[in-house]
Structures are given as C-alpha cells and as structure tokens.
Structure 1
Amino acid sequence: MIDKDNLKRNIYNIIFKSNTPQGKAFDIYLIIAIFTSVLLVIFDSVPYVHEKYGVYLVGFETFITILFLIEFILRIYCLNRPWKYVLSFYGIIDFLSIVPSILVFFFTGTQVLGIIRLLRVIRIFRVFNLNKFIRETTSFWQVLQKSFHKILIFMIFALFASVIIGAFMYVVENSVNPAFSSIPKGIYWAVVTLTTVGYGDITPVTNIGQFFSVIVMVLGYSIIAVPTGIFSAEFVKNKIQEDHIYKCSHCKKPIEPNDPFCKYCGTQQPESSPTLKKNE
C-alpha cells in the first residue's frame, strides 16, 4: 500500500526544494530542458532547418512539452493548496510554457510562443543560491508595483494625447498628403513620433504639419523621461526604506528595533546599535 502523504512529501521535496541533492539535480535538469526547448523553437523557425529536420525538432519539442505537463501536474498534486501555486508568478509562467504546444493543434505557428519558457530559468537564482540576485529582483518588482499606477495614469494621458494629435494631423494633412488617409493613420504617426521611434514611413508635407511635428518631437522626450523619473524616485525611496529596516544579525530577517532576541531564529542580538544590527 502506497503512503500518499509520504509520496506527496517526497515529490514536494524534489520539485520545490533546491537545498537537497535530489531537488537541486531536478532543477538543473529542468533548466537544461528549458534551454533545450527554447533552442528547438529558435532553430525550427529557420526555413532550411525546418525543412530538413522539422519532424525531429517537433517530435523532440513534443516530448519535452509532455515532461513539462507531467511536472506541472505533479506540482499541483503534491500541494495541499494547489491554487496558491497555480495563481503565483511561477505557476502562471509554468502554465503558459505548456499552452503554446497545445494551441498548435488549433492555430498554426503558435509553437513559437513556447519561447516564453525562458522565463522559467529565473529559478536559476534559487538553485545556485544567488540570494543577492533574488533580493534585487524582489526589490525591482516592489518598486514596479508601487510606481505602476502613476506610470499607468501618465500612459493613459499620453494615449489621449496621441489620439488628439493624430486627429489634428489628419485634418491638416489629409487633403494634400495621402499618407494621412485616416485618423488611425494619424494616431499611428503620433505614437511613432511621440515615442521618438520615427520610422519615417509617414511624414507631414504641409508647413503647419511640419511645424506641429517639431512640437510633438520635443514633447516626445517627456514620454521617456517622466516614467523613468517616476520609477527612479520610487527605487530610491524603496532603497532608503530598506536601509532603515532593522534586521537580525544572524538570519537577516526584519525585526523590531528594541527586540533583544530574533523572533524567527531566536538569536540574541548584539548590545550595540541598540542591541541590533542594521541591514548590511
């Protein structure tokens, strides 16, 4: 009789834990499989390679996808609250890495989206104990979340501005310039110009249109500067907050300034600074 609880625990230790020999070996093999899968997708997109070796590449890719599917099912099986994993960042990435190979049966060419599996390699930070990179990645996402709403509001106003500018350019250029044949074409020009991309496929020919283009080009720099400034300000603020957080001298987890012992590991804190060490 198989002990299901023991089986789930063993699967969990192998799949989710990287601090055991079996878990680390599993993660390394997983990373190798991810890189192999991505390379298969890249090479399969080359016409010559696809024509000559396409059948073998697709077969190998299908085999790896089946392994990923089995892994995903095992991850869900060994958890007591599987939805917590499924809705997490890693869970969503793991699921999305399987979807393209399934969609290929319904939509042609979707296997190329399997390149998203490369995001799974983020686990390399956990496997090789690159704690500094993990902390910096966490800090980056925290800053991104804090500045998201401010940047979103700015981008909405930028979108509204693109629509207004596009409509204005359509009115000015439409009668003499066939490139501005509709308002959507004007909006396209406005977005390309505001973002300082400047493809050059649509250009104004009237004096008013060219003068207005200069203004739009100058305003375009703010499209880059404002979101960058918002993100940078939040990053600096987050760094200052981190530097003022008291942490345990042993496990480095945050604790209260006057706690003589760490509530996580129980380590007695140094008497200096007052009985604690700040983040090093």
Structure 2
Amino acid sequence: MPGHDFKRALYEVLEDTGKRRLAAQSLRNFLIFLIVANVVFAVLETVPEIRDTFGPHLRFLQLGSGVIFLIEYLLRLYVADLHPPMRRYGPVGARLRYALHPDAIVDLIGALPLVLVLVLPNQAVTMVVIFRLLRFLKLARYSPALRSLISAVAAERKALIGSSMIIFGVILMAATLMYLIEHNHQPEKFRSILHGIYWAITTVTTVGYGDVVPISNLGKMVGAVVMLMGYGLIALPVGIIASAFAREIHSRDFVVTWSMVARVPLFEDLSATEVASVSKLLQAFNVRKGATIAEAGDIADRMFFITSGEVEIRTEHGTVFLGEGNFFGELALLNQAVRRTTVVAYRDCQLLVLEAGALQQLMDQDAALAKKIMDEARERVEAGKKVLGEIAEEELEQAGIVPSDEDNNLQPELFEDGRPVKAD
C-alpha cells in the first residue's frame, strides 16, 4: 500500500533505521544545526542592541524553527506505532505511550514556544525564552555520550542522593557553629542560621565571595576546617558521576562490539562467552577519508567492523558502500586468499580489526571453539555460499547487492583436516 510504504519510509528516516541512511543522516545533521542555532538566537535576542537591529529577523527564524520542530513532533507521533516495542498497543495506545517517553516530551518542549506565542503572545514571554533554551535538550537524542551521561546519573541516583545528604549535613553543621560563634561579633551578617548557610555554601564550594567572613579566632578555625572539607565533599559526587560515566561508556562499547561480532555468520552459533572471547581480540584504529584500508593483490588476513564512517569497496561488478555497523572480510579469517577488491575510506572511519593470526591462536587454545568455527565454515562451503574475492554474500547483501552464481571463489579444498590452507 502506498500510504503504508510512505509511513515506513518516514519512520526509517526519522529513527535512522533501514536502508535510508543518507536521508536519515542529512535530517539528523539539519536538526542538530537547527537546535544549536535556536539556542544561539534565543541568547542573542536578549542583547538590546541586537534585538533592536535584527529583532524581526530573529523572530522570523524562531517562528520558522518552531514550525519545523512542531512538524517533527507530529510526524514522530504519527509513526510511533511502528516502533517494535509499541506495536502491540495498537495505533492509539502506541502513540499515547510514546508521548510519555522522555524523548517525546523533549520534542514537545521544543515545539511549545510556537504554540505559546500563538496562544499567549503577550503573557508568555518568559516561558517562551525558557522553552527555547530547553531545546538544547533535544541534542540528547543525537548524542550517545550525552545519553550515556544521563544514564550514568540515573543509575547512581541513590549514591548521589547520599552524597548530597552528607554535603547538606556538613553545610548545616558549619552554618550552625558559625552562627553560634560569630553572631555576637557580626550580628548584621550572621543574624540567623539561614545567613550562616549562605556562608557555609560559598565556603564548602570553595567559591568564597568574601562578603561574609569570620573575624573571631575560633570562627576562623572553623572556617579553615570547612574549606578543607569542601575539596573532599565536592569531589565525592564528581567521582561518582565520572566512574559511572566511564562504566556506561565501556558497557555501551562492549555491547555494540559484542552485537557486531555475534551477527557475523561465521560466529552466529557461538555462545555468549565465546563471542566475548572473540570480541577481546579486536583492535581499533582510525582511517582518514580517502585512505586505502585494503588493496587488491594483498593477502586477505584481516576482518573489519565499521563502528563509524563509511567505506567504499571497489569490485569487478561495481562499487559497494558499507556504513556504520557493517562488516567485511569475514572469509579472510579462514580463506586467506589474495584480495580481489580494494577498500577505501569513503568518509573518516573508526574500524575494529580482527586478525586471522589472533583468531587462530584463540582456536588453538580452545578446541571446542575451533570446532564450532570450522564446522560453520564447512557448512557454508557445502551450502555453496557465494563469494566475491574475500567478500562474502552476506556482506554484499548489506549494501543490497547479490553476486551471481559465477562469483563462487570459496572451494572445499581450501580446508584440510578441519584447518584452513592459505592460498599460494
């Protein structure tokens, strides 16, 4: 159905899934630019000279941006029932559940300034400015690092609450002591414990404005102790967040790497522990745009995973483009023949490399693992899996290309006694 096809295409572009990667990335880059531009415009509009000179232009840009954000929100709501976790709730239930999702709420906040301006043009000035600045939160959708930081804070919320209680307890105790000590010496500055709390906060945070300071010897001693304690107290939540963030990044990278290895046909029958063992062999390196990753005529002895960027594989049948999450060179791990394809970085790339030698050493150490991998390789040979040089059929299918029956380069005689034999 044309309507369903359009809705599916819209979903793939908005959520960056499926084969419409270029359109999805273009939309993503445009929205990121628009979000940053809106925050800049909202800040510049508060400068009287800029507002008087470019006020109408800034308001027009803000209005246009609001329309775009509103359309984006409505379209995401429209395709919400295509999200796999929400399909079972039906069209209405899926959209209601999606509307309560944090990402959807942030999208709604981005669209609210336009609605407020149209409904309450005079009374909503302050709210409009606040919501315009809150559009910055939309960057969390496009920033894995920011999402990881939010996840880290949420995961350590109990520890952060505990550390905050400790800090507040120290502040309250310091404020009480300073009130009791300094109230008679400075009744106008330490009129109550509340005034002492202001001094304690500025001291614990090591800001020390200098507008309220103890003058008695005992007060100075208490102030010195509180200042020294401040360094450790402030470092407590910072250390919690930093360690949680590092752990979150490590976990995310491991999951991404593990999932990339697990979906390779050669490793798909391995257990989680065995896939993890293979994942540990991966080595990361960066490649600049235009650099040659693998050249025709070289010995194919490495497999590549693309964690970011895009590569160009030049074959006899044309050019194949593989992007983030794809892999190539799987058969190079066992069938170390001469490469018939040249692989060039189409964009700046981050790659994970699995060398045949490292995998062979792992297989030598683990006989069960070696048997599983060799059995899978033998089954693929017997099934007549098509190959284009060292590029397997599954790898070509990533780019929507299916090789012809003539492109069968992997032969059973490449294996002797369950071990691969290198081509001459």
The TM-score with structure 2 as length reference comes to: 0.52
Check if 1:145 corresponds to 2:154: yes
Runs (5+) with no aligned partner, structure 2 = 82-93, 276-325, 334-358, 371-424
- CA separation of 1:180/1:85 partners in 2, compared to 1, >3 Å: closer, same or farther? same
Aligned residues: 262
Query: Which structure has the highest strand share of the two?
Result: 2
Check if 1:90 corresponds to 2:103: yes
* Distance of 1:103 and 1:44 partners within structure 2: 17
Q: Is the 8 A contact 2:12 2:24 kept in 1?
A: yes
| Deviation digits for residues 90-113 of structure 1 (CA, Å, limit 9, x no counterpart) | 323222223355556334333332
Query: Which range moved further: 96-105 or 13-22?
Result: 96-105
Runs (5+) with no aligned partner, structure 1 = 126-133, 260-264
Residue in structure 2 matching 1:117, options 104, 110, 135? 135
- Opposite residue 91 of structure 1, the aligned amino acid is A
- Opposite residue 118 of structure 1, the aligned amino acid is F
- CA separation of 1:99/1:138 partners in 2, compared to 1, >3 Å: closer, same or farther? closer
- CA separation of 1:212/1:88 partners in 2, compared to 1, >3 Å: closer, same or farther? same
Query: Which range moved further: 241-250 or 188-197?
Result: 241-250
Q: Is the 8 A contact 2:66 2:113 kept in 1?
A: no
Of all paired residues, the percent bearing the same amino acid is 24
- CA separation of 1:42/1:244 partners in 2, compared to 1, >3 Å: closer, same or farther? closer
* Distance of 2:253 and 2:64 partners within structure 1: 48
Q: How large is the Cα RMSD of the aligned pairs?
A: 3.7
Determine the structure 1 residue equivalent to 2:89: none
Shift, 1:235, TM fit = 5.6
Residue in structure 1 matching 2:240, options 230, 233, 244? 230
Determine the structure 2 residue equivalent to 1:32: 33
* Distance of 2:195 and 2:113 partners within structure 1: 32
Query: Which structure has the highest helix share of the two?
Result: 1
Q: Matches of residues 214-225 of structure 1 in structure 2 within 5 Å? A: 214-225=224-235
- Opposite residue 173 of structure 1, the aligned amino acid is E
Shift, 1:63, TM fit = 2.1
- Opposite residue 90 of structure 1, the aligned amino acid is D
* Distance of 1:154 and 1:237 partners within structure 2: 19
- Opposite residue 119 of structure 1, the aligned amino acid is L
* Distance of 2:202 and 2:168 partners within structure 1: 12
Determine the structure 2 residue equivalent to 1:13: 12
- Opposite residue 5 of structure 1, the aligned amino acid is H
Shift, 1:85, TM fit = 3.7
Give the structure, 1 or 2, with the largest relative contact order (CA under 8 Å, sep 6 or more): 1
- Opposite residue 154 of structure 2, the aligned amino acid is Q
Q: Is the 8 A contact 2:203 2:230 kept in 1?
A: yes
Choose 1 or 2 for highest CA Rg.
Answer: 2
